[in-house]
Structure 1
Amino acid sequence: MPALTLPEPVAAYLAADTHGPDEVARCFTPQGVVRDMGLTYVGREAIRAWKAASTSYAYVVVPFSVELIDGVHLVSCHVAGSFPGSHVDLTMRFRLERGLIASLEFTV
């Protein structure tokens, strides 16, 4: 199976996700948006706080497909870890601007 080629900002986000909330927040535009579990977080500080709240769970994200539709990168992933409902396949919808993430939405 060939290696999956992710857009650089998406690859940077996945790498930052293993290092902490500050690194994750830096992957976004200043007014970046995250939509997760019915909530919306706007701006780097809100995104940092969102990511900090999830540090009590250990998990691994393994992307298995990526496609570009109408300017949005859809990255499908297997996610497993110590969170409730663990082992889930989800889609991360990335909209990119100038080498950063403008928006990220998680869907199951």
Structure 2
Amino acid sequence: MVTDEGHRYHGPGEIHAWLARSAGEYTYTSTLAAARRLDDDHFDAVHHLEGDFPGAVVDLHFRFALRDGRITRLVIEP
């Protein structure tokens, strides 16, 4: 499951469609600003984005959970 901009996407089909749409929506640069391990399975990576989206600059948290080396949940939020 992926949560981005308050919307939830479940399963490979919805996630693939979300990736395809969001990747071409804006032009931006992304720099990893920080990363930390919350516990054995949960992580928080902060990315600094600058681009042609509304507001032009934002720091986003990519909070995710891993199981067997795969992301099982991703939440993207300020």
Residue in structure 2 matched with residue 96 of structure 1 by the alignment: 66
SS in 1 for 2:25: coil
Residues 31-72 of structure 1: CA deviation (Å, up to 9, x unaligned): xx1001111001111011111222131122111111111431
How many equivalent pairs are there? Answer: 76
Unpaired stretches in structure 2, ≥5 consecutive residues = none
- Structure (1/2) with the larger strand percentage: 2
Supply the RMSD in Å over aligned alpha carbons.
Answer: 1.2
Measured in 2, the distance between the counterparts of 1:60 and 1:107 equals 17
Residue in structure 1 matched with residue 56 of structure 2 by the alignment: 86
Residue in structure 1 matched with residue 33 of structure 2 by the alignment: 64
Structure 1 residue ranges (4+ consecutive) displaced by more than 2 angstroms after TM superposition: none
TM-score normalized by the length of structure 2: 0.87
Task: Give % identity.
Answer: 36
TM-score normalized by the length of structure 1: 0.65
Unpaired stretches in structure 1, ≥5 consecutive residues = 1-32
Residue in structure 2 matched with residue 16 of structure 1 by the alignment: none
Q: Structure 1: which amino acid aligns with 2:11? A: G
Give runs of aligned pairs for residues 18-97 of structure 1, distance below 5 A.
33-54=1-22, 55-70=24-39, 71-97=41-67
Measured in 2, the distance between the counterparts of 1:73 and 1:56 equals 26
Measured in 2, the distance between the counterparts of 1:60 and 1:72 equals 25
